[in-house]
Structure 1
Amino acid sequence: MSSTAEPTTGTLVSRVVLPFAAGYFLSYLYRTVNAVLAPEIGRSIQLDAADVGLMTGIYFITFAAAQLPLGLLLDRFGPRRVESILLAFAAAGALAFSLAEAVPALVVGRALVGFGVSACLMAALKANVQFFPPARLPLMNGIILGAGGLGAVAATAPVHLALMVTDWRGVYAGVAGLTLLSAMALWLAVPDRPTGAGGSLAAQIGEVAEIFRSRDFWRIAPAAMASTGSFMAIQGLWAGPWFRDMAGLSAEAAAGGLTVMAAGMAVGYLSIGAVAEWFERHGVAPMTLGAVGMGIHAVTLGLMALGWSAAPSLLAAAYGFSGASASIYYAVLTRRFPVRLAGRVNTSLNLLIFIAAFTSQWGIGWVLGLWDKADGHWPAQAWMVALGLPLAAKLAGLAWLAPACRTSGPR
């Protein structure tokens, strides 16, 4: 699709930003929806805590496995083709999940979903770079990230309301249909632009190895992995059971708590770029700002591990908002590499973050399963240990990051 006249900003928003935003909305909905649906799934298919963690967390493994080849595919074939084809796999996975009768089928379905939505953010960011000038990128990227936050919100109270008219199978089947529609919209609506890919495949793979040999990369990556990985795992699955077990909330109130957490996350993602720009102008580097945000996030996780439940909505909002702080390290890292490596720097960090997310999501379930439930709830000690382990990893990552933090400068 081409035109002799340059399209207007409004046209580009409707034909580029909004179709990709819809894809990322669905990606985040898939990522977090099992926090509400897991109890319903467990009533029709027998699941223990480790099964729930594996069933939900396999999404992160297939998502992570796609990241390195994804960077190469986006450079060679463009975001429209790559994401629309992958979303068809996500739709197939969601439909398979809705038809599953046993744990292996649930795992296969979620694995396909994770693979299918693996391009949703990276493809959108690449498309924005192709179609918009640099000055417009923070706003356009913010729209994409905000759409993801709205997807997380949609996966909470709205899904709980949907369960009044259908079951978890109907929810997954419905989202499968929406995913297929999103794939078709991307394929038909988004214009093509030259990808700008250059060099041989071997040279491009060698550049990925250059990233993983970088000391700067490994100074930042562990903190981002520990913070964002555990945040995805807890917000996407285990926050719901925590609200029920430790805060004593009903299923409806727990869904409301998840909505508040997701809304806090959406606001955090939308605001972190603008806040970082303001602080940097006043001498506080993004590296340091991100570390402070992760420190606040560690405090909120520590309160959850200790079972503090005096104000669960406030804690949920603070946990969600501060959980977005580590997203700044995508921008921090890309500034430490040549521009030609920006996409692969982001997918390399994504790979590690999603491995950490799977490990956290499955590991928390495994730890909880070491205790017997009492009246359908895991005891406080189980939650203290299960959440204390990712908290310890987060604090270790922050300690490793601290020497690189600066109070001024562009890094």
Structure 2
Amino acid sequence: MSRLILGVFLPFAAGYYLSYLFRTINTLISEPLSADLSLNAGSLGLLTSVYFLIFGAAQIPIGILLDRFGPRRVQSALLLGAALGAALFGASNGFLSLLLARAMIGLGVAAALMAGLKAIVLWFPRERVALMNGYMIMLGALGAVTATRPAEWLLNSTGWRGIFEVLAITTLAAALLIFLAVPESKIAQQARPAGLRLEAIFTDRRFWRIAPLSASCVGSAWSLQALWAAPWLRDVEGLNRETLVTQLFVTAIGVCAGALLLGTIADRLRRRGIGSETLLAVMALLFVLAELALILRLPLPSMLPWSVVAVVGAATVLSYATIAEYFPAELAARANGSLNVLHFGWAFAVQCGTGLILEQWPVQDGHYPLIAYQVAFGLSVAVQVASLAWFGVSWVRELGGRTVRSLLHHRSRQGASFEVTAPPSDIPIMEAHEDTEW
């Protein structure tokens, strides 16, 4: 097991760490970046969110590549592109070149988490998947921690351009580490994986029960932590730079702790027959309550609701563990990629949309008014409430179907005279087709 951790788990965790760092670094550098290049809220939102747009658009193609060629080759090649994008970002002097560089970074780290999850599915026991996912996301979330206090120190020493020069070198080193240290995967050694179709994922009712809930909550949490937490704390809470960075540091630690905690709880609940999706629904409810506390300005320490927001950003531990229970290992990367399309697509919409909404109000003494943030955050909460309701209805419907089938089966075993015909299952049959490239 120690050889697997050193030779497989940790190299991919390093790649995901960099992905998380790239995702959240803009919330720290947003102020000096905006000042240097005269960026308004809309431009800053687009610049930061293009990472999510490209990242999300690449998920399904990358999932196919991971299932076919294995995580080692795909991850190491893409990280080279991320290193080039980081170097370009640090050298850019205009909005368009920054946008291109940010898009290159998004594409370059688009496989970071999925490659790690794929490696876990391939190399570790199935019953340990949720726990290992938790460790992966916990270590990756250290990137968010690095994007606070440590990055602030580097920002003061070298500026935001120096940060991206360091990131370019570090990302190149991570690409080489994965290529040289990780053994060739079992999937990559096969001529081609089983011809299971991508259609099997998107026609599975279980997928569509969990996907809207996971996407609307996790995507919103990512958007807030990656950019809009800092402007809120500055404009609404009135925090100075020192206090703001300290709070970002604490909430980033919450992501790490949340990933480990959620993975551990999910692992123990699974032994008792309770699926990860139930815990995800509980976290979604807490997330909605935390956002409402912010929007309504309830008399609570702001650290409390923002910590909940940070922890929900790690709830992918639960989403991916649930997906691993739904689909076979041969479809693991494509299934996670399909879910990630929704995660990052919604994160892009929230991050970019928030900037556009804020611009509808005039700036007052260099700050956007509270009502602007309330409207932007409130629209996101409305979508989450609808997704939570959809999950609840679907879950109750499936529970009722299981109860009916159980009763019919029980009566048939007691010798009931009527013929029992089980209702059609909600779970579609995934057929293998040799002539299908998916």
Q: 2:75 aligns with which of 80, 83, 86?
A: 83
CA contact (8 A) 2:89 2:101 kept: yes
Q: Which residue of the partner structure matches residue 303 of structure 2?
A: 313
CA contact (8 A) 1:66 1:115 kept: yes
CA contact (8 A) 1:90 1:114 kept: yes
The amino acid across from 1:162 in the alignment is L
Following superposition, the deviation at residue 333 of structure 1 comes to: 3.1
Matches within 5 A, 1:2-401: 9-195=1-187, 203-204=195-196, 207-281=197-271, 284-308=274-298, 310-325=300-315, 327-401=317-391
Q: Which residue of the partner structure matches residue 5 of structure 1?
A: none
Task: Indicate how the Cα distance of structure 1 residues 105 and 392 shifts in structure 2: closer, same or farther if over 3 A, else same.
Answer: same
Distance (whole Å) between structure 2 residues aligned to residue 326 and residue 195 of structure 1? 24
Distance (whole Å) between structure 2 residues aligned to residue 251 and residue 203 of structure 1? 54
If you compute each CA radius of gyration, which structure gives the higher value, 1 or 2?
2
Task: Indicate how the Cα distance of structure 1 residues 83 and 37 shifts in structure 2: closer, same or farther if over 3 A, else same.
Answer: same
Distance (whole Å) between structure 2 residues aligned to residue 199 and residue 189 of structure 1? 23
Distance (whole Å) between structure 2 residues aligned to residue 122 and residue 280 of structure 1? 22
* 1:189-247 deviations in Å (ceiling 9; x for gaps): 1111321687879945xx11221122222222111111111111111100011111111
Following superposition, the deviation at residue 253 of structure 1 comes to: 1.1
Task: Give structure 2 stretches of 5+ with no counterpart.
Answer: 403-426, 428-438
CA contact (8 A) 1:307 1:384 kept: no
Q: Which residue of the partner structure matches residue 435 of structure 2?
A: none
Distance (whole Å) between structure 2 residues aligned to residue 197 and residue 47 of structure 1? 48
Task: Indicate how the Cα distance of structure 1 residues 197 and 308 shifts in structure 2: closer, same or farther if over 3 A, else same.
Answer: farther
Task: Give structure 1 stretches of 5+ with no counterpart.
Answer: 1-8
SS of residue paired to 1:370: coil
**After alignment, is 212-221 or 225-234 more displaced?**
212-221
Distance (whole Å) between structure 2 residues aligned to residue 279 and residue 14 of structure 1? 28
The amino acid across from 1:109 in the alignment is A
Distance (whole Å) between structure 2 residues aligned to residue 40 and residue 200 of structure 1? 49
The amino acid across from 2:235 in the alignment is D
CA contact (8 A) 1:34 1:236 kept: yes
Distance (whole Å) between structure 1 residues aligned to residue 58 and residue 163 of structure 2? 26
Distance (whole Å) between structure 2 residues aligned to residue 201 and residue 227 of structure 1? 33
Of all paired residues, the percent bearing the same amino acid is: 41
Task: Indicate how the Cα distance of structure 1 residues 355 and 310 shifts in structure 2: closer, same or farther if over 3 A, else same.
Answer: same
* 1:349-371 deviations in Å (ceiling 9; x for gaps): 01111111101100001101111
Task: Indicate how the Cα distance of structure 1 residues 326 and 138 shifts in structure 2: closer, same or farther if over 3 A, else same.
Answer: closer
Following superposition, the deviation at residue 162 of structure 1 comes to: 1.4
**After alignment, is 221-230 or 108-117 more displaced?**
221-230
